[in-house]
């Protein structure tokens, strides 16, 4: 029998128990081989359909296999965007400024569930699905070819948005060196003046979703 064809994304509701057909959800996408931790992704075809395969992250990125990822743009009550600076030890985009959250999906996980998980794991932000706007656009291809480091990153991505967050932030200092809120207009000015300071996927995705992010409500703290 051919491998099962999985939907591009799965609906999320309730406790965010999301599955794609034929793929059991994982509590974690990582496993250990000896002393080394390895991570698995669900492999897609070029049309974004599931193939029923899981493959090692390193293999996926070395061979350009399609997989899923999700982005989230986090705004505070002043309408400023949260950006994070990637650690110098990151293989891709070291020391570059990145969007608020960029997360790979676990096998069997849907996009919205990955947003909720990514917010908690990357920034310590705990929210429900109802607090997140999106998807802002349908799932679409995003490709990054970096031959110097042997990476071809072919993804199907969706973007989401979290507004009005003024709570605490907790990030992994081995992954991220700095986070800050910046006015969206200022982010674009900096991207134009110093494009090498920002990840390619941040620049590419912002060019698509910026008109939608303009609708981000600026909340007056006095109204809370």
Rounded to whole angstroms, how far apart are CA atoms 58 and 51? Answer: 18
Structural domain count, the chain = 1
pLDDT at 17: 40
Q: Are 212 and 136 in contact (CB under 8 A)?
A: yes
Q: Which of 67, 180, 80 is nearest to 123 (CA)?
A: 180
Residues of the domain holding 59: 30-216
Q: Which of 125, 123, 115, 126 is nearest to 175 (CA)?
A: 123
Q: Are 101 and 114 in contact (CB under 8 A)?
A: no
Count CB atoms within 10 A of the CB of residue 78.
13
Going by pLDDT thresholds of 50, 70 and 90, the confidence category of residue 5 is very low
For 197, residues 6+ apart whose C-beta sits below 8 A from its C-beta are 96, 97, 190, 191
Assess if residue 1 is contained within a domain: no
Assess if residue 14 is contained within a domain: no
Q: What are the pLDDT digits (tens) for 117-164?
A: 999 999 999 999 999 999 999 999 999 999 999 999 999 999 999 999
CA dihedral 144, 150, 156, 162 (to 10 degrees): -70
CATH of the domain at 167: 3.90.79.10
Percent of the chain with pLDDT over 70: 79
CA dihedral 122, 90, 74, 168 (to 10 degrees): 40
- Per the listing, tokens 């999985």 go with 6
pLDDT at 22: 44
Assess if residue 18 is contained within a domain: no
Assess if residue 2 is contained within a domain: no
Assess if residue 11 is contained within a domain: no
Q: What are the pLDDT digits (tens) for 68-107?
A: 999 999 999 999 999 999 999 999 999 999 999 999 999 9
Assess if residue 13 is contained within a domain: no
């Amino acid at each position: 029998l051919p491998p099962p064809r999985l939907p591009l994304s799965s609906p999320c509701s309730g406790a965010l128990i999301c599955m794609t057909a034929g793929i059991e959800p994982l509590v974690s996408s990582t496993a250990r081989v000896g002393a080394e931790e390895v991570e698995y992704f669900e492999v897609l075809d070029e049309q974004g359909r599931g193939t029923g395969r899981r493959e090692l992250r390193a293999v996926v990125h070395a061979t350009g296999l399609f997989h899923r990822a999700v982005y989230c743009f986090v705004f505070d009550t002043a309408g400023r965007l949260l950006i994070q600076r990637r650690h110098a030890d990151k293989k891709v985009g070291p020391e570059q400024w990145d969007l608020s959250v960029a997360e790979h999906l676990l096998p069997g996980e849907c996009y919205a569930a990955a947003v909720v998980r990514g917010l908690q794991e990357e920034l310590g932000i705990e929210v429900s699905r109802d607090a997140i706007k999106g998807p802002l656009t349908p799932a679409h291809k995003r490709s990054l070819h970096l031959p110097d480091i042997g990476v071809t990153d072919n993804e199907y991505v969706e973007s989401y948005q979290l507004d009005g967050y003024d709570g605490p932030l907790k990030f992994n200092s081995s992954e991220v060196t700095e986070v800050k809120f910046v006015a969206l207009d200022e982010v674009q000015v900096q991207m134009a003046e110093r494009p090498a300071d920002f990840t390619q996927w941040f620049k590419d995705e912002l060019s698509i979703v910026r008109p939608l992010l303009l609708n981000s409500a600026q909340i007056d703290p006095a109204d809370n």
